[in-house]
Amino acid sequence: MLTKRLILCGFGKVGKAFATLLTERKHQVGQKYGLNLELTAVVDIGGAAVSKQDALPVNKLLSHAEKGSPVETFAGYGIPGISGTEVISNLKADVLVETTPTNLIDGQPGWGHMQAALERGIDIVSANKGPLVLYYRELHELAKAKGCHIFMSAATAAALPTLDVGMLCLAGSQVISMEGILTGTTNYILTRMHEDKCAYAIALREAQELGIAETDPSLDVEGLDTRNKLFLIANRIFEKIFDLEDLKVTGITGILPEDIEKASSDSKVIKLVGTAHLEKGTVTLKVEPQALELDHPLAAVNYSEKGICYLTDTMGRITVIGGKSSPVGAAAALIKDLIHSSLFSPP
Q: What is the pLDDT of residue 326?
A: 83
174, 314 Cβ separation under 8 angstroms: yes
134, 45 Cβ separation under 8 angstroms: no
pLDDT tens column, 213-229: 888 999 999 999 999 99
pLDDT tens column, 156-207: 998 999 999 999 999 999 999 999 999 999 999 999 999 999 999 999 999 9
Q: What is the pLDDT of residue 212?
A: 85
Q: What is the pLDDT of residue 344?
A: 64
Query: Which spans in 135-255 are helix H?
Result: 136-146, 162-164, 184-195, 200-209, 218-221, 224-237
Q: What is the pLDDT of residue 299?
A: 97
pLDDT tens column, 94-143: 999 999 999 999 999 999 999 999 999 999 999 999 999 999 999 999 99
Q: What is the pLDDT of residue 330?
A: 93
Where in the chain are the domains?
2-159+327-343, 162-322
pLDDT tens column, 161-170: 999 999 999 9
Residue 300 DSSP class: G
Q: Give the Cα separation of 108 and 24 in Å (integer).
A: 30
- Closest of 8, 298, 333 to residue 158, by C-alpha: 333
Catalytic residues: 229
219, 267 Cβ separation under 8 angstroms: no
Count of positions (residues) in the chain = 347
| Strand duo 317-322 + 306-312: pairing | antiparallel
The CATH classification of domain 2-159+327-343, taken from the options 3.10.180.10, 3.40.640.10, 3.40.190.290, 3.40.50.720: 3.40.50.720
- The answer to whether the Cα torsion of 312, 127, 106, 95 is positive or negative is negative
* Residue range 11-24: mean pLDDT, rounded: 97
pLDDT tens column, 19-71: 999 999 999 999 999 999 999 999 999 999 999 888 999 999 999 999 999 99
Q: CATH top-level class for 162-322?
A: alpha beta
pLDDT tens column, 243-298: 999 999 999 999 999 999 999 999 999 999 999 999 999 999 999 999 999 999 99
Assess whether pLDDT exceeds 50 at residue 347: no
- SS3 assignment, position 156: coil
Q: Position 149: which residue type? A: H
Confidence of residue 345 (pLDDT cuts 50, 70, 90): low
Helices 136-146 and 224-237, interaxial angle, to 10°?
A: 30
Q: What is the pLDDT of residue 181?
A: 98
Q: What is the pLDDT of residue 134?
A: 97
- Tell which wins on pLDDT, 326 or 147: 147
Angle formed at CA 200 by CA 252 and CA 205, multiple of 5 degrees: 110
2-159+327-343 and 162-322: identical CATH topology: no
254, 227 Cβ separation under 8 angstroms: no
Contacts of 219 (CB under 8 A, 6+ apart): 104, 225
42, 49 Cβ separation under 8 angstroms: yes
